[in-house]
Structure 1
Amino acid sequence: MTLQPVFVHGWACGVDVWQPLSALLPADSACFVDLGYFTFSDTVPLGSKCLEQIEADRPILGIGHSLGLMWLLAQRKWPEGSRFIGINAFSRFTQDEGFAQGVAPRVLARMATGLQRAPEDVVNNFRERCGLQPVEGASLQISALQDGLQMLMTGDVRCSAQELTQHRQRDLLVLAGAADPIVSPAMTRAAFAPETLIVWEQGGGHMLPLTHTRFCADQIRQFMNETS
């Protein structure tokens, strides 16, 4: 059965981050999940509404940027045969006793407070660090941004990610930027099991789907062409 591509963007991003990459991949039946951080288009299903359109027993090719991979792995037990690609991704983001490489909780707490007081500043400061253009404050959907930030603060899908590396044919590929200002190389390595296939782009930052589109497309095609 052909895998259905499901693309999920990261925090403070939108489905537009996938436009260059999806153009280089077979994506006729693709689902582009919009997590609703900005004023949304009626043509794009939000969150789980998009997932409802996927056949329950059809395996997917889940492609998640940053928070997008964690979101995918946290949604459900996907059908056998599903494969996943994380770009600038992680299975845990916030530091805890067993994950010293994560971002300090106080940083996320400060962002959460800022979303209530000056949301445009918080979002655009983050987007600037990612190398993205600012967005208008009127477009922000604060509740959705808060939900995403909460997942960054508490989300943990390390067990689910590790399970994907235990098959004879590995079902998880991670594409990482060695110069990523959001997800450091140390965090990337610590967030995934040692057996995880991680491919590094030495000059890459946090927006590989936009800045290193062909690198991502080539790695995805190679991953999907692998045989068990």
Structure 2
Amino acid sequence: MISTLYCVHGWSFDQHFWEGIRPFLPGMSLICSDSGYFGSPFAPPLPEEPYLAVGHSAGVLSLLGRELPGCAGIVSFNGFARFVEGQDFPEGTPTRFLERMRVKVRRAPDTVLTDFRTTCGTAEPWPATPDSQRLSDGLIPLLTEDRRTEAERWGNRLHWLAGMNDPFGAARAMHSASGEMIEGGHLLPLNQPERCAAFIQRALHATH
């Protein structure tokens, strides 16, 4: 039985994003990376034993772009394989919105974080002084990457949970049989940790 999760948070959060889920996953080891938006980045090596990769939002895009040897599957919370709109992806966010956000976050990170987190549905304060350059750089993959081919390659090993009320259309665009749309917004692991932990357990059972 797999007992290790490799967790990647989304934009504007840190490794502590996953703390709410931990109590509902007894016996599981959570290895959590950190993009360094509020301190030093932390990129732990992938586990040597079989594991599930767990991502939230932009963290899913990041996982889809990586080689993940030994990974039995990816669990996506509010995730996406592409974020910006395109001719064949009308669900995406307009490119100009992200481009403006990249510029603004470098000069007024607190304002951008407040606006973004309000859109996501949380007023939770950030843990430390934001790193405006890392936050700006963290938006580049959302502007440039398209991992839909990789998502298709994972097939039913990509387990997704999305919120019906998610303000970002890209996070509601997964339609494979290995996922579920539930009532909720863009922060399912924060707002519904027990439900998300149960979804992880379901994904674990599906790997056997």
TM-score of the superposition, structure 1-length normalised?
0.82
Instruction: Report the counterpart of residue 47 of structure 2 in structure 1.
Output: 54
Q: In the alignment, residue 132 of structure 2 is paired with which amino acid?
A: I
For the 8 Å contact 1:3–1:82, the answer to whether it is kept is no
- What is the root-mean-square deviation in Å for CA atoms of aligned residues? 2.2
For the 8 Å contact 1:88–1:177, the answer to whether it is kept is yes
- Identify which of structures 1 and 2 has the higher relative contact order when contacts are C-alpha pairs closer than 8 Å and 6+ apart: 2
Deviations 1:132-170 (A, max 9, x none): 2254696111222122111111121111111111xxxx2
- What secondary structure, in the 3-state scheme, does the structure 1 residue paired with 2:29 have? coil
- For structure 2, which runs of at least 5 residues remain unmatched after alignment? none
Confirm or deny that 1:162 pairs with 2:152.
Answer: yes
Instruction: Report the counterpart of residue 120 of structure 1 in structure 2.
Output: 110
TM-score of the superposition, structure 2-length normalised?
0.89
Confirm or deny that 1:70 pairs with 2:70.
Answer: no
Once the two structures are superposed, the pairs formed by residues 144-183 of structure 1 within 5 Å of their partners are 144-165=134-155, 170-181=156-167, 183=168
Instruction: Report the counterpart of residue 195 of structure 1 in structure 2.
Output: 176
Confirm or deny that 1:214 pairs with 2:194.
Answer: yes
Instruction: Report the counterpart of residue 96 of structure 1 in structure 2.
Output: 86
- For structure 1, which runs of at least 5 residues remain unmatched after alignment? 41-45
For the 8 Å contact 1:120–1:136, the answer to whether it is kept is no
For the 8 Å contact 1:172–1:196, the answer to whether it is kept is no
Instruction: Report the counterpart of residue 11 of structure 2 in structure 1.
Output: 11
Shift of 1:196: 4.3
Deviations 1:14-72 (A, max 9, x none): 122211112211464321111111124xxxxx34x31x2632xx433111010011111
- What secondary structure, in the 3-state scheme, does the structure 1 residue paired with 2:150 have? helix
Structure 2 distance, partners of 1:136, 1:30, is 21
For the 8 Å contact 2:4–2:28, the answer to whether it is kept is no
Deviations 1:198-225 (A, max 9, x none): 21112x0111111111211112212211
Q: In the alignment, residue 214 of structure 1 is paired with which amino acid?
A: E
